Structure 1
Amino acid sequence: DLRMIVSQNPGLNERVNRCQFHLVDSGQLEADSSWHFDNICSPFSRLYFIRAGEAFIVDENGKTRLLPGRIYLIPAGRNSHYCCPVTMQKVYFHFNLFLPSGFDLFEGLDTCLEIPAEPGEIERVYQLSDGQGLADALALRQHLDAVLSRFIAAGQLEERADGHNSELLQKLFALVYQKVTARTRVQDLARQLSVSGSTLSKSFRQETGRTVSEYLDSLLLRQACRMLLSTNLRIGEIAEKLQFCDPYYFSRYFKSRQQETPSHYRRRMSGSV
């Protein structure tokens, strides 16, 4: 008799869909000693495939030397100094690997991550990054996914991606993911989730150690930073999209958290590839 046997991996679909990859910027760089940036703290993580030369990334934990044949991951939110003594060639990718909470998987790591490139890998990435068609784009995405999986294994980051949250918090994350604005309020979210504000706040603090308001503020600031660096929108347009009452209030909000105005932040961070 013929029969059909189906074998499934419990939780596989959820794990595959848990993290959302978003490519912010990419390119190839041939740098000299003018590649020098201080106090760079990005709302996205960075992948560097070093082809030739050398450079350095310096942070509070010391100096990381960027060498040919190596791949480096600089986590989002890591305050660092970048310098190139002579010359360097690399392919770079600025990206976010978003967890359901809206935070980057690598955000908050206290060090840069480093792995060796496989034979021919860097040249292959150069070729794919020059591609114009969908096939090359998908092949590049597949390769970046594989590289990130190597970094997750090397950095023992599986627990970060597990996301053992209650159903209530999972619904909250889905509600605000990529949708938070200056007008997002805890009470409104609680109402949409059919719970009281106090119940939502208590559950959130118990599971995360922070308040809902702090979480929403962090998401809003990261969204503002990403829009300043990855779009050409004017400050007033960003303020409008994030539903601030006016550009002046948005600038005050941003400066109170970043210690610089949105326009200064955009100028200072531009070119830091």
Structure 2
Amino acid sequence: MSRELTQPNFILLNIGQALHNADWNWKNVCSPFIRIHFIESGTAKLIRDNKVYRLHKDHLYLTPAYTNHGYECDGPLSLYYIHIYEELSNHPSIFDLMDFPVEIQADQLTIQLIKRLAEINPERKLQYFDPWSYDNLPTLVRNISLQKSVPFGYEMEAQGIIKQLLSRFLVQASDKKLNIDKRIQQSLHYIRTNLHKPISIDVLAETCFLTKDHFIRLFKKNMGCTPGKYINEKKIEKAQRMMLTQDITIKDLAYSLGFENNSYFNRFFKKMTGENPGSHKKKILLLAKNSDY
């Protein structure tokens, strides 16, 4: 993996210690954030990708965002949970590029880092451990907004600790073997790093040394949609992320994503999400204001 392809930035959502006794049993959990679990004592099971992983003392377990999984626990269990939101900016997710191990052993420094992260973020504890009580848009918006109130020194320290924890998994990770034509992979990288400006299909074809018609056919064969549709979908996805994390007007949002005018951005946003961007932003702000932590 090229180091220039990704510059990950992470927001801490939740961290805390949880004590369970045969009451950590959930199915079909799928969240827009990364989970790390550190097992202090006891045992349980993580079900992921049709595999069962028995959780062991002094080990860390990683579940990427949007990964369907579940838990089974039939006795005493003590663990730390860490929920992390990955801001993608103009880069692909690191999890799109690398295959991470599910389990690694924790050394003493790693354990100290986890406890330090919990110590400086006491307000990030979960009140309830039912995923459906916190794994929703209102709570996600609320937790991301808390980032603005964290002292800058603690925010920087939290960023460093999160990256250190993920680095423990990264050293054992491997490049994904994507079954995508290398020329299309090159065009995907161009799209992801240029979402802030208009993207020409002609330019994409030229970077792949293909004619425009050949490029469109090859892109559709590999990605299941036209390059134009893919580009606009990625721009709207980024717009939604920016609304979550930035105070930005709809006009500035449209221009920052390379749309030539507000009207076109509004039409395409509504086509993809079912609502206009103004209404979507108001809903997010209202949820952030009224949701319970």
Global fold match (TM > 0.5): yes
How far did residue 252 of structure 1 move?
0.9
How far did residue 39 of structure 1 move?
8.3
The corresponding residue for 2:166 is 144
The one-letter code matched in structure 1 to 2:177 is: E
The one-letter code matched in structure 1 to 2:271 is: Y
The corresponding residue for 1:114 is 102
The one-letter code matched in structure 2 to 1:76 is: A
**SS at the partner of 2:82?**
strand
Q: How does 1:82-121 map to 2 (within 5 A)?
A: 89-95=80-86, 103-106=92-95, 114-120=102-108, 121=110
CA distance in 1, matches of 2:252, 2:56: 41
When structure 1 is superposed on structure 2, of 87-96 and 17-26 the one drifting more is: 87-96
The one-letter code matched in structure 2 to 1:196 is: T
How far did residue 77 of structure 1 move?
3.7
RMSD, aligned α-carbons? 5.5
Identity over aligned residues, as a percent? Answer: 14
CA distance in 1, matches of 2:70, 2:116: 29
The one-letter code matched in structure 2 to 1:90 is: Y
Report how many aligned residue pairs link the two structures.
242
Is the Cα–Cα contact under 8 Å of residues 169 and 204 in structure 1 kept in the other structure?
A: no
The answer as to 2:27 corresponding to 1:29 is no
The corresponding residue for 1:46 is 34
Note the alpha carbon deviations across 1:142-189, whole angstroms, 9 max, x for none: 542232343x36xxx6424x97613x752x344323322685342454
How far did residue 248 of structure 1 move?
4.0
The corresponding residue for 1:3 is none
- Using structure 1 for the length normalisation, give the TM-score: 0.57
- List runs of 5+ in structure 1 lacking aligned partners: 1-14, 33-37
CA distance in 1, matches of 2:268, 2:215: 27
- Using structure 2 for the length normalisation, give the TM-score: 0.54
- 2:267 pairs, out of 249, 257, 262, with 249
The corresponding residue for 1:12 is none
Is the Cα–Cα contact under 8 Å of residues 40 and 80 in structure 1 kept in the other structure?
A: yes
The one-letter code matched in structure 2 to 1:197 is: K
Question: Relative to 1, partners in 2 of residues 1:97 and 1:223: Cα closer, same or farther, differing over 3 Å?
Answer: closer
How far did residue 134 of structure 1 move?
7.7
How far did residue 56 of structure 1 move?
11
Question: Relative to 1, partners in 2 of residues 1:56 and 1:143: Cα closer, same or farther, differing over 3 Å?
Answer: closer
How far did residue 23 of structure 1 move?
1.6
The corresponding residue for 1:233 is 248
The answer as to 2:212 corresponding to 1:212 is no
Is the Cα–Cα contact under 8 Å of residues 219 and 226 in structure 2 kept in the other structure?
A: yes
- 2:113 pairs, out of 121, 124, 131, with 124
Higher relative contact order, chain-length normalized (CA < 8 Å, sep 6+): 2
Is the Cα–Cα contact under 8 Å of residues 180 and 222 in structure 2 kept in the other structure?
A: no
Comparing both structures, which one devotes a greater share of its residues to helix?
2
The corresponding residue for 2:182 is 165
Is the Cα–Cα contact under 8 Å of residues 49 and 122 in structure 1 kept in the other structure?
A: no
Question: Relative to 1, partners in 2 of residues 1:58 and 1:108: Cα closer, same or farther, differing over 3 Å?
Answer: farther
CA distance in 2, matches of 1:80, 1:233: 35
Note the alpha carbon deviations across 1:218-260, whole angstroms, 9 max, x for none: 4223312321333233445433422252474354134149xxx
